[in-house]
Structure formats: structure tokens, C-alpha cells
Amino acid sequence: MMPESPIRKLVPYAEEAKSRGIKVHHLNIGQPDIETPEVALNAIRNFNQKVVEYSHSAGILSYRKKLTTYYKKHNIHITSDDIIIAAGASEAILFAMQSCLDPGDEIIIPEPFYANYNGFAINAGVNVKSIFSSIESGFALPAIADFEKAISSKTKAILICNPNNPTGYLYSKEELEILEELVKKHDLYLISDEVYREFCYDGKPHYSSMYLKKIENNVILIDSVSKRYSACGVRIGCMISKNKEVMDTALKFAQARLSPPTFGQVAAEAAVDTPDSYFEEVSNEYIARRNVVVEGINNIDGAFCPNPSGAFYVVAKLPIDNSDTFCRWLLEDFSYENETVMLAPASGFYSTEGRGLDEVRISYVLNCDDLRSSIKCLDEALKVYPGRTR
């Protein structure tokens, strides 16, 4: 059965709270308030073709060629034939699962993981086998022995998100090289979701799975313009691999849906010209926001939050009985100075039942002042929540 989104399922309660005049701070969803680069918006404004045509099923060739220059800057050397443009990273992940796994096959994913991976797997008829990463380790890569235990004759792939959604954890070169040996040993695919590549902090570099030369033919890179350029609504992502057989198969799925969105591709192609100064500014802003959230939560009695090095999410442990109940209670029954906060219950980011019941995911996509107000709301809420545990 297709699971509900933990990120969106509480929307009706938020709308009801707003109808009562309560200000809701949305920390539940990764929708940045950063402005989309003007160069991308101008490309849409200046679109002057007489007909909005289908593009090639793999995406507009000029865009795919231009994307190779973006990746070259990140020391990823590919050709336009190694890229299939998709309707967001979501469709790209679905294509990857459909191309690399058959119905009934298994994919290993460290949990907590982006909740929609479950939905994509169900759509592709694939079974998820999760392995646990703990908040106490900051959600570091699980021990290789845990991967080995999870591998069976039906295991065909491992899926990682780096930097990670929902935890913000940034995998190191050493961790990826450990994965490289495992993937090589068992001849698995490594599907690497790298949509938050630009958001790495504390001087730590992003190490792409495309750098793993021993398994070059096993790696499928997933990417997107949504978060990079704060352009979630254009719905453009891509699937990249040097494995020709995988890409030929994926193209058949791409042909079945005809083509990716034209206007999204026009905006995304122009966005490649976004200056580095844009990313420097955005990165500094997210570091400031992260520090507000992490420091604020760790100052709340009974709460704990690791300090992530990437993306714009944290998973926080709170003194609560049930994260689903708590997040709904915040919207239905609580307000502080006529404000409340909307969070995503972390239980929805685990596939193992019973995990994440005392954890929430927070997206630090609001400005620092709103984040301070949000943390204050959370602190006051925990003082009166009926299901507080300690």
C-alpha cells in the first residue's frame, strides 16, 4: 500500500490552524525561501518559440550538453548521452529503480531516509531493506557488517542520499570507499541521490559516488535543480550513469512518459549560468540558520540534535511519546502568542515500525528570526505537551 507522506499529511491541520488566525511556521517541508536565480526566471520570461513542443525523451540536447559543463566543474566527466532528464529527482529515482531492479528484488537503504523512497519502491515493485543509523552517531554510515547481513540473493542495489535528507549527514570519502568495496564485492548498483551537493558546511567537501572508479559502471547518480536553485516547482531532475545498458533501459521508461517539462528545462538550462556568488551567499545563510536551530534545540530541556554538515535538515530527539501525535497536537491544540510550528514526524522516515517515535525532522528553510520564533514555540509546547516523557 502506498504510504502517506509524513511531510504533507498534516497539511489539513495546518490549514485549519491558519483559519483560526494562528501563524504556522512551516518547518515540515524542504521548500526554501531563497529567491530563484534571475537568470532562470528570465529564460522563461523571454521564451519566444511559437510552439511548445515535446522535447527528446532524454531531455533537450542543448540542456544535456550544458549540464556536462556543470559536472565538469565538480570533476565529474560525462557526456550528454550519460544523462536522462526527468520530471524532478523523483522520476529519476523511479527510472533508476525500474531499470536496475525487477519486481520482488531488494534495495538496501540506511534509515532514516527520504520518505518517498518507500513510495518509489512500491511503484517499482521493489522491496526496501533498511539498516539502522542512529542519532547518537549523528546518522553516520552504518557498519559494513550491517550491510552484509542485509544482503540476500534478491539484493540488487544500495541507495544513499548525500548530503542526507532527512538527517543532513554528509558522507565522507572514507565512508564511500567502504561502500565501493561492498558494491564491487556483491556486484550491486549504487544509486546516489546528490541533490544537496551545493549545501556542504564546516569546510567539508562533497565526495560524489561518481568518483568511485572501481564501480564506475555500477553507479547511478540522481540530481535535481529543485534545491540547488530554489526552483522546486520547475520539476526538473536527472539520472546519470556510464552504464549504457542501464541508460538504454531507462530511456524506454522515459519514452513511455514522452518528455520532461519544456519550461522547466528552459529554466534549468539557463540556471547553469548562476554565478558562484549565489551559492556562497546561500551557503552562508543556511549555516546561520542551522546554527540557530541546532543551538536552540540543544538548549531545550530533554531535547537533542546533532550538528549536520550538509543539506538543510536536522532530525531532533524530543521528550515525546509519539511524533505523529505530537506534530498533530501542535497544529490542533497548541499555540504560543498566536503562533505554532509545523514539523514532520520522523517515524515516516523509517521503514522499521516503532522507530522515530521520539524524533522529528526540521527543515531550516525560514529566516533566522522566524526560526528563533519557531524554536521558542517548540520549547513552550514541550512544557505543556500531555505526552511528554521526561
Q: Summarize pLDDT for 328-342 with one digit per residue, the tens.
A: 999 999 999 999 999
CA 282 to chain centre: 17
Mention every residue, 6+ apart, whose C-beta is less than 8 A from residue 48: none
> What is the pLDDT, as a whole number, of residue 382?
98
Same domain, 261 and 299: no
Residues 350 and 319: their CA atoms lie apart, in Å, by: 19
- How big is the chain by its Cα radius of gyration, in Å? 21
Residue whose C-alpha cell reads 497536537 in the numeric block: 329
Kindly report the backbone phi and psi dihedral angles of residue 310, in degrees, each rounded to the nearest multiple of 5, phi listed first: -160, 175
Task: Please check whether residue 81 lies inside any domain of the structure.
Answer: yes
Task: Give the β-pairing of 155-161 and 127-132.
Answer: unpaired
In a domain, residue 256? The reply is yes
Q: Is residue 389 part of a domain?
A: no
76 and 23 in one domain?
no
Do residues 237 and 271 touch, judged by C-beta distance below 8 A? no
Residue type for 362, please? I
Same domain, 249 and 304: no
Same domain, 331 and 224: no
CA count, 13 A, side-chain hemisphere, 303: 23
Asked if 242 contacts 79 with a C-beta cutoff of 8 angstroms, the reply is no
Closest CA to 95 of 224, 235, 188, 222: 222
Same domain, 22 and 46: no
3 in a domain, yes or no?
Answer: no
Residue 76 phi, psi dihedral angles, 5° rounding: -115, 115
Q: What is the spatial distance between Cα 172 and Cα 248, in angstroms, rounded to a whole number?
A: 31
b (16+ CB within 10 A) / e for 126-164: bbbbbbebebeebbbbbeeeebeebbeeebbbbbbbbbb
Partnered with residue 41 across adjacent β-strands are: none
Residues in the chain predicted with pLDDT less than 50, given as ranges, are: none
Which domain-ending residue is among 212, 240, 271?
271
Tens-place pLDDT, residues 120-161: 999 999 999 999 999 999 999 999 999 999 999 999 999 999
Selection from 273, 268, 339, 350 nearest residue 315 by Cα:
350
- What lies within 8 Å, CB to CB, of 51 at 6+ separation is none
- Distance between CA atoms of 201 and 148, rounded to whole angstroms? 31
> Of 227, 245, 271, at which residue does a domain stop?
271
For residue 4, what pLDDT is reported?
72
The whole domain housing 281 covers 11-35+277-384
* Cα(161)–Cα(193) distance, integer angstroms: 4
* Count of CB atoms situated within 10 Å of the CB of 390: 8
Helix (H) or strand (E) holding 247: helix 244-256
* Same structural domain, 27 and 51: no
Q: How many domains does the chain have?
A: 2
Structure-block grid coordinates of residue 78: 560525462
Largest CA distance in the chain: 64
Is omega for the bond preceding 110 within 30 degrees of 0, making it cis?
no
Domain closes at, from 211, 246, 271: 271
Domain membership flag for residue 253? yes
What amino acid is encoded at 268 in this protein? Answer: A
Q: Are residues 100 and 187 located together in one domain of the fold?
A: yes
State the Cα–Cα distance between residues 271 and 269, nearest whole angstrom. Answer: 5
Tell me the CATH number at 107.
3.40.640.10
Q: Give the length of the chain.
A: 390
Q: Where are the beta strands (DSSP E) in the chain?
A: 23-26, 83-86, 106-111, 127-132, 155-161, 189-193, 219-224, 237-240, 313-317, 339-342, 344-345, 359-363
Q: What is the DSSP letter of 352?
A: S
pTM of the model: 0.96
CA 273, CA 40: separation in Å to the nearest integer? Answer: 9
